[in-house]
């Protein structure tokens, strides 16, 4: 790819994400202004989502306001703002709004515990307009005197602030992967660079990433040139450190830190191993080496006394020399992987190519942005290996998300049949994401639930309570096949609600209920260590993208990354199977239930 093309690609993604950011902040401003502006807030929030989900840069659609009108969520007024932005780089209404609302506090509005009314009160009563003074005020106990700020609310706010702080310091895996791969491509083009690879938590696919680590090899005579090349890439905002073998920079975008380390070819494997981590995994490896009279560091596996190099060119070589099976980066967390590698019993991890279908998604029938037919056509083109996709629109109590009433689901069944007939393939399956209500009952009648091919049951309310009982009750329902986003967390924004996981996993195993890995970048729910606990209990896992737009189907990779970090092989993931097996899983649950009922009736006779 030549430089001109790269430049063009960068400006392309910029328009959409910049506008999405502005619209999101405008929505926050309107929410802050109060109830009268709530429809504006909703409209701008919708426009922000649309911007994030566009396949092409907005300028491609923006030939005039009329053509923008065709995009979902973009009416005439917002269309004009887009045109204004493309022409002038600014939106006057936004510039005006910024002056009326304390901008520094606005970011907090995305955090659990900081609604617009709360922020307004704090701003007006405490006369604070920046985050630091607000945080200080909370810590000094000043807000306890305000009306409506009880101990539970304040506790909740403190937890929210902690999350917010963490989210400032660490990126989501999805963002870091994009940034990391962009920079890796650029590093590979620096004159003199031979090999380069991502290392650190990014290579291990941890759910959040502190900084991006890159390992590079080059001829020794070129090292100076490579370091100089790295610190002068156009994406670099600031050089943090620069030495002979390493450099650290901050990127312009999001001020992401990138650490680059240079090594010789024959050290590449041991350096990659060292800088991939985790630190805890490395410590265990070093102890192993020591017991054998060796030492292990970034320069190789060496004899302690003679300094003879035993291994170092590849990671495989180092693991082999230590008497270990190769350990995939996703498992390097000191969670028992070294012991298993010694016994040569590591699982053969699931790969993206094993996936045969997507288990949760939403269409325009509820809160998705695409018609069922468009989704089906897109999947046929982009994911030809998929044998099925399950449409799982929301149930009635999800009012904001446009949940469907029973009669509407029955209409949707007809539409799904029509689409399948048109594409000549039983690709689209009939499902729902049914709400688990406060008492653990479901939001749709039993007779309808029985008609679905697949039922995911999820919690969308009551995030501060222990939700174990609700989830257990849902598992006991014969028509619930899977628990969706089981912990309810949003990384950096909302903590998981309390759940007794051991109880839930036992119930899921006993009732034959699957548990979801939701691959939405902010969810990654169930999280990796709990996935491992779940499969140890014999639970079957599904991976789903929960897509609300076409661009989100590619998140399947993130779900697979979580499954790998949870030690899953193909056998533990239901949607690596053909639809026949999914149907068997479903029938199994019904049989289990029927069996239990018949035993109960025998006992009562």
Shortest distance (Å) from residue 212 CB to Ca ion: 6
Ramachandran region, residue 569 (left: φ > 0; alpha: ψ -120 to 50; beta: rest)? beta
Name the binder of 458 from ligand DGT, Ca ion, Zn ion, none, CB < 5-8 A by kind.
Zn ion
Q: Nearest Cα to 487, choosing from 495, 477, 479?
A: 495
**Counting contacts by CB under 6 A, is residue 72 touching ligand DGT?**
no
**Counting contacts by CB under 6 A, is residue 275 touching ligand DGT?**
yes
Shortest distance (Å) from residue 260 CB to ligand DGT: 12
Nearer to ligand DGT by Cβ, of 168 and 422: the residue is 168
Name the binder of 75 from ligand DGT, Zn ion, Ca ion, none, CB < 5-8 A by kind.
none
Q: Residue 536, Cα to own-chain centre: how many angstroms?
A: 23
**Counting contacts by CB under 6 A, is residue 492 touching ligand DGT?**
no
Residues 6 or more apart in contact with residue 603 via CB below 8 angstroms: none
Nearer to ligand DGT by Cβ, of 242 and 592: the residue is 242
293 phi, psi to nearest 5 deg: 80, 20
Among 45, 182, 259, 393, binds Ca ion (CB under 5 A): 259
**Counting contacts by CB under 5 A, is residue 213 touching Ca ion?**
yes
CA distance 42 to 20: 13
Q: To which residue do tokens 């919708």 refer?
A: 46
Residue 490 per-residue DSSP state: B
Name the binder of 277 from ligand DGT, Zn ion, Ca ion, none, CB < 5-8 A by kind.
ligand DGT
Shortest distance (Å) from residue 200 CB to Ca ion: 3
CA distance 434 to 140: 43
**Three-class DSSP category at 575:** helix
Peptide bond into 526 cis (omega under 30): yes
Site residue total, ligand DGT (CB under 6 A)? 14
**Counting contacts by CB under 6 A, is residue 211 touching ligand DGT?**
yes
- Contacts of Ca ion in 150-209 (CB under 5 A): 200-201
**Counting contacts by CB under 6 A, is residue 201 touching ligand DGT?**
yes
CA distance 183 to 174: 15
Nearer to ligand DGT by Cβ, of 271 and 519: the residue is 271
Angle formed at CA 486 by CA 481 and CA 488, multiple of 5 degrees: 140
Nearer to Ca ion by Cβ, of 201 and 555: the residue is 201
Shortest distance (Å) from residue 278 CB to ligand DGT: 5
**Counting contacts by CB under 5 A, is residue 333 touching Ca ion?**
no
Residues that bind Zn ion in the complex, under the rule CB under 5 A: 458
Name the binder of 116 from Zn ion, Ca ion, ligand DGT, none, CB < 5-8 A by kind.
none
Shortest distance (Å) from residue 520 CB to Zn ion: 9
CB atoms within 10 A of CB 17: 13
User: Residues in the chain, how many?
Assistant: 605
What is the C-alpha radius of gyration for the chain, rounded to an integer number of angstroms?
26
Q: Nearest Cα to 122, choosing from 336, 109, 415?
A: 109
Residues that bind Ca ion (CB under 5 A): 200-201, 211, 213, 259
Residues that bind ligand DGT (CB under 6 A): 200-201, 206, 209-211, 213, 274-275, 277-279, 282-283
């Amino acid at each position: 790819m030549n430089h001109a093309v790269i430049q063009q690609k960068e400006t392309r993604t910029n328009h959409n994400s910049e506008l999405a950011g502005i619209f999101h902040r405008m929505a926050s401003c309107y929410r802050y202004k109060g109830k009268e502006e709530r429809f504006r807030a909703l409209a701008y929030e919708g426009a922000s989502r649309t911007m994030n989900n566009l396949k092409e840069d907005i300028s491609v659609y923006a030939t005039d306001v009329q053509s923008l009108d065709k995009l979902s969520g973009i009416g005439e007024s917002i269309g004009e703002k887009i045109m204004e932005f493309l022409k002038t780089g600014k939106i006057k209404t936004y510039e005006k709004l910024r002056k009326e609302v304390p901008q520094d506090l606005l970011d907090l509005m995305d955090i659990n515990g900081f609604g617009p009314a709360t922020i307004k009160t704090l701003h007006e009563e405490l006369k604070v307009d920046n985050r630091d003074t607000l945080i200080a005020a909370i810590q000094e106990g000043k807000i306890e005197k305000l009306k409506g700020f009880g101990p539970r609310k304040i506790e909740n706010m403190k937890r929210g602030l902690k999350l917010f702080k963490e989210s400032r310091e660490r990126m989501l895996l999805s963002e870091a992967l994009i940034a990391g791969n962009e920079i890796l491509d650029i590093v590979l083009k620096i004159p003199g660079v031979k090999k380069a690879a991502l290392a650190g938590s990014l290579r291990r696919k941890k759910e959040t990433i502190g900084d991006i680590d890159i390992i590079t090899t080059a001829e020794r005579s070129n090292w100076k040139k490579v370091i100089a090349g790295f610190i002068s890439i156009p994406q670099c905002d600031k050089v943090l450190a620069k030495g002979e073998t390493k450099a650290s920079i901050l990127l312009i975008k999001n001020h992401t830190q990138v650490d680059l380390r240079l090594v010789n070819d024959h050290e590449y494997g041991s350096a990659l191993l060292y800088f991939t981590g985790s630190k805890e995994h490395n410590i265990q490896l070093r102890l192993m080496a020591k017991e054998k009279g060796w030492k292990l560091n970034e320069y190789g596996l060496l004899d302690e006394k003679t300094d003879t190099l035993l291994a170092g060119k590849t990671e495989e070589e180092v693991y082999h020399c230590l008497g270990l099976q190769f350990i995939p980066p996703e498992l390097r967390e000191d969670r028992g992987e070294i012991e298993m590698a010694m016994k040569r019993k590591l699982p053969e991890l699931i790969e993206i190519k094993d996936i045969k279908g997507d288990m949760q998604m939403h269409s325009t029938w509820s809160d998705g942005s695409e018609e069922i037919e468009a989704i089906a056509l897109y999947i046929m083109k982009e994911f030809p290996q998929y044998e099925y996709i399950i449409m799982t629109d929301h149930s009635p109590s999800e009012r904001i998300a446009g949940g469907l009433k029973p009669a509407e689901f029955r209409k949707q069944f007809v539409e799904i049949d029509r689409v399948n007939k048109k594409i000549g393939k039983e690709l689209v399956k009939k499902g729902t994401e049914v709400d688990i209500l406060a008492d653990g009952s479901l939001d749709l009648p039993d007779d309808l639930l029985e008609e679905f091919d697949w039922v995911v049951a999820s919690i969308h309310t009551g995030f501060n309570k222990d939700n174990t009982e609700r989830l257990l009750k849902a598992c006991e329902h014969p028509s619930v096949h899977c628990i969706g986003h089981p912990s309810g967390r949003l990384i950096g924004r909302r903590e998981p609600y309390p759940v007794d996981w051991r109880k839930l996993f036992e119930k899921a195993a006993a009732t034959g209920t699957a548990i979801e890995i939701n691959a939405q970048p902010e969810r990654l729910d169930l999280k990796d260590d709990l996935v491992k606990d779940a499969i140890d209990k014999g639970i079957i896992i599904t991976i789903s993208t929960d897509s609300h737009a076409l661009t989100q189907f590619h998140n399947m990779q993130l779900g697979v990354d979580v499954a790998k970090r949870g030690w899953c092989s193909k056998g533990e993931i239901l949607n690596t199977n053909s639809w026949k097996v999914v149907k068997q899983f479903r029938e199994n649950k019904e049989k289990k239930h029927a069996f239990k009922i018949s035993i109960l009736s025998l006992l009562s006779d």
